[in-house]
């Protein structure tokens, strides 16, 4: 502990005179200092915990700069690229492209479509998730790599649940996939089972484990608790970046029903800064409507099912070059595609 405290003092990721000292997000310098601290002080960390923990399991996403989700894979990246005989770097997926001349559907119009689709109450809310994700790992002066995986979580009536994690990439079916399982990241066959686990009964009344409500007002409070898990949440409304992050966290725990999806779209329609971009085909070949939000050098793309408003996916893309990490504007930082 003494060594870690000494490292923290020397790194000083949040100086007293820093512009974001207090409750705000870290600035770019502070994030890089914190990343270097993690690199020196920790042996290795996974991008996402494999098991949801009782209570809440925060999932860091790619929001403010380079250090949100991907740089927790820095040490894994070093292991992949650091010596002879290690696997080749895997290129980041290309960003999704909005179809030319397609009609953008405003979020208010999409909210009305989602409300109409939810009038029958089907499909129903289900605990558990099925998600395909790509996460970008970066390290100073070395090419970025992506770690694609598919995760299926299913809950039973007795509050036990199973989780299956598979290394797979639908962009290149049948080709080897890079995984960070074990001590040394390596390539495995497409469809390789990273883990298959059954967990004992667990439950919680705190979001995101608690059952999400299906009205916009109640869901906003629920998502605020996810985005700001401390007891002092203040009265400020969720920012659009916080809303995107909290909805992604929710979708990593629950498969939303029609009413919950309609409430989510209603919240996005009320959020500021999101603009309708037009039609897009997601990475699983599904048609969707794309909505963009730019902040701090990152472009967030939200993809909604065009008839029901259900969230199909989210993509985060760099809008600026960063030679130190070997990324360029247009590189995909992370992507999640949720399925029923």
pLDDT, tens only, 172-224: 889 998 887 765 668 899 999 999 999 999 989 999 999 999 999 999 999 99
Question: Is 174 within a domain?
Answer: no
* 153 within 8 A of 52, measured Cβ to Cβ: yes
The C-alpha atoms of residue 308 and residue 301 are separated, in whole angstroms, by 18
* 133 within 8 A of 122, measured Cβ to Cβ: no
Tell me: do 20 and 75 sit in the same domain.
Answer: no
Cα Rg, the chain, nearest whole Å: 20
Bridge-partner residues for 136, per DSSP?
146
* 316 within 8 A of 335, measured Cβ to Cβ: yes
Tell me: do 106 and 250 sit in the same domain.
Answer: yes
Minimum mean pLDDT range among 33-42, 144-153, 272-281: 33-42
Tell me: do 28 and 111 sit in the same domain.
Answer: no
Q: Name the domain count of the chain.
A: 2
Question: Is 172 within a domain?
Answer: no
Tell me: do 144 and 85 sit in the same domain.
Answer: yes
* 135 within 8 A of 146, measured Cβ to Cβ: yes
Tell me: do 256 and 298 sit in the same domain.
Answer: yes
Tell me: do 2 and 150 sit in the same domain.
Answer: no
Is the pTM for the entire model greater than 0.85? no
Tell me: do 36 and 60 sit in the same domain.
Answer: no
Question: Is 74 within a domain?
Answer: yes
Domain membership of residue 90 as a residue range: 52-162+197-339
C-alpha distance from residue 291 to each of 279, 280, 299 (Å): 9, 10, 10
Question: Is 191 within a domain?
Answer: no
Tell me: do 25 and 58 sit in the same domain.
Answer: no
Reduced to 3 states (helix: H, G, I; strand: E, B; else coil), residue 24 is coil
| H or E segment and range at residue 140 | none
Residue pLDDT, tens place only, 91-100: 557 899 999 9
Tell me: do 319 and 203 sit in the same domain.
Answer: yes
């Amino acid at each position: 502990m003494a060594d870690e405290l000494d490292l923290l003092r020397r790194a000083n990721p949040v100086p007293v005179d820093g512009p974001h000292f207090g409750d705000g997000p870290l600035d770019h310098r502070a994030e890089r200092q914190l990343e270097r601290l993690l690199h020196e002080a920790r042996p290795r960390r996974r991008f996402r915990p494999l098991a949801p923990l009782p209570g809440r399991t925060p999932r860091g996403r790619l929001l403010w700069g380079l250090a949100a989700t991907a740089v927790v894979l820095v040490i894994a990246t070093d292991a992949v690229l650091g010596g002879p005989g290690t696997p080749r770097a895997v290129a980041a997926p290309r960003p999704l492209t909005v179809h030319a001349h397609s009609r953008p559907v405003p979020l208010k119009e999409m909210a009305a479509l989602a409300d109409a689709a939810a009038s029958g109450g089907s499909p129903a809310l289900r605990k558990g998730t099925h998600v395909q994700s790509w996460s970008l790992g970066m390290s100073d002066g070395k090419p970025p790599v992506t770690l694609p995986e598919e995760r299926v979580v299913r809950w039973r009536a007795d509050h036990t649940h199973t989780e299956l994690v598979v290394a797979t990439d639908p962009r290149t079916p049948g080709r080897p996939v890079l995984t960070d399982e074990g001590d040394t990241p390596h390539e495995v066959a497409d469809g390789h089972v990273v883990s298959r686990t059954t967990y004992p009964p667990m439950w919680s009344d705190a979001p995101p484990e608690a059952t999400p409500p299906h009205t916009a007002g109640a869901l906003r409070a629920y998502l605020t608790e996810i985005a700001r898990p401390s007891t002092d949440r203040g009265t400020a409304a969720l920012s659009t970046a916080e809303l995107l992050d909290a909805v992604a966290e929710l979708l990593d725990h629950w498969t939303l029903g029609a009413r919950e999806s309609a409430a989510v779209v209603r919240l996005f329609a009320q959020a500021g800064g999101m603009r309708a971009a037009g039609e897009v085909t997601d990475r699983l070949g599904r048609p969707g409507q794309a909505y963009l939000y730019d902040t701090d050098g990152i472009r967030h793309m939200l993809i909604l099912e065009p008839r029901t408003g259900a969230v199909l996916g989210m993509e985060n893309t760099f809008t600026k070059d960063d030679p130190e990490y070997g990324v360029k504007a247009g590189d995909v930082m992370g992507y999640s595609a949720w399925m029923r």
